[in-house]
Amino acid sequence: MLNQNNHNGNIFMKVSAALAAMTLVSGASIGMYKLASERSEAAPAQNPAVVTETAETAETESSGSTAGAPAVNMSWVEMASSADALTIPEIAAKAMPSAVGISSTFTYTPQNTGYGNFAFGGMRGNAQPASQEVQAAGSGIVMTSDGYIITNAHVIYDTESEYQMGKATSVTVIMGENHDEEYEAEIVGYDIQTDLAVLKIDAEGLTPAEFGNSDDLQVGELVVAIGNPLGFELYGTTTCGIVSAKNREVQLEDRTMTLIQTDAAINAGNSGGMLLNAYGQVIGINSMKMSASYGEASVEGLGFAIPINDAAEIIRSLIENGYVTGRPQLGITGATVSEEQAAFYQMPQGVYVYSATESSGLQEGDVITAIDGVEITTMDELNAQKNLHKAGETVTLRINRGGEIKTVQVTLQESVPEA
């Protein structure tokens, strides 16, 4: 997540996802954003879907989990670790060279306050709000020795903050033992839906992370998080905890993410950083946390990470295509017609179409009330049904057009993000 401030200190930007706080925040909560197989006798295999190369690591010989009750006076770290696990200092030493910082610069232009044309002392002018630069700090993971870096989408693309600034105008990757090496980064691709992004820097000989198998995780297993909470003054902060739950569904606005829950400390700035297993392998990408105050409850130790197995195919597509292929879209812009709006304007509840592509067969003013026979009243419900399909497939929409009920066949287009 990110905590972001502009250079003048008059903007505190909240971008959520990787440490989301009811909002994808760079400082977090789970709000805006609204995994048990036995371990094999050897350390879990790397995930071939993500890794094309790995750093050299010391060989460890596994003897499997010890049967029976834990030994007397055994610490929680020992109870949460396999017999062949690395120590926490060993995990940190192995992974730290692959942990980086991400600094993103966004351009924010305040909306005109209404005093655009003004007269004062007989002189007229046109006051235009001045653009400001907003800085965001996050974390990242070295994927390959030649400079591919993994992070969260919200670290480099703002859709969740109140400012809605879009893609960062520049991104810098920070690394090195003293975090004094800086590289200008290219945004290779990003996917807002899964909160993943890939960057590329012009560098060779980097130490790539070793990736594990997130499907092998067990509840209660030791995990370690490395990232940059609250910015780079705390660069490379290492925290540890356990897997609190697997396959935890977390709702963030109109999308549901299935994540690893952990009590390892994750805070703003950890977004896009690594969650490691007891072998020092990346098994998750830290993405969000429950805020310190959730409703009337005070909460702690509720962090969430994207399972690396789920991220693998997305990352590959981002590298190969710059976006995730096959995602469907109707070709419209629209909004939910609330119950109150429906009563006031004497129209049905559903999704009001503001604009539509010619190929969609829809028109401005249409209200979509059903898709494939399923009644819908909100944009979220429409998207949920649409996302059951792939680009190129056809769906049947029931619409209200000026009081007349019609049925329209729409061939779903491929969703391609803005350049």
Active site residues: 154, 195, 271
What is d(CA 178, CA 129) in angstroms, rounded to the nearest whole number? 39
193 burial via Cβ count (<10 Å: 0-12, 13-18, 19+):
middle
Work out the widest C-alpha separation in the chain, in whole angstroms.
89
> Per residue in 212-226, is it b (16+ CB within 10 Å) or e — as a string?
bbbbbbbeebbbbbb
DSSP state of 282: E
DSSP letter for each residue of 77-92: HHHTS-TTPPPHHHHH
C-alpha dist (Å) from residue 61 to 82, 90, 224: 11, 15, 21
Torsion, Cα 386 390 395 400, to 10 degrees, reads 40
Reduced to 3 states (helix: H, G, I; strand: E, B; else coil), residue 275 is strand
Q: Which amino acid is at 317?
A: S
Query: Using an 8 Å Cβ cutoff, are 162 and 136 in contact?
Result: no
Burial of 132 (0-12, 13-18, 19+ CB in 10 A): middle
In angstroms, the CA 99 to CA 95 distance is 7
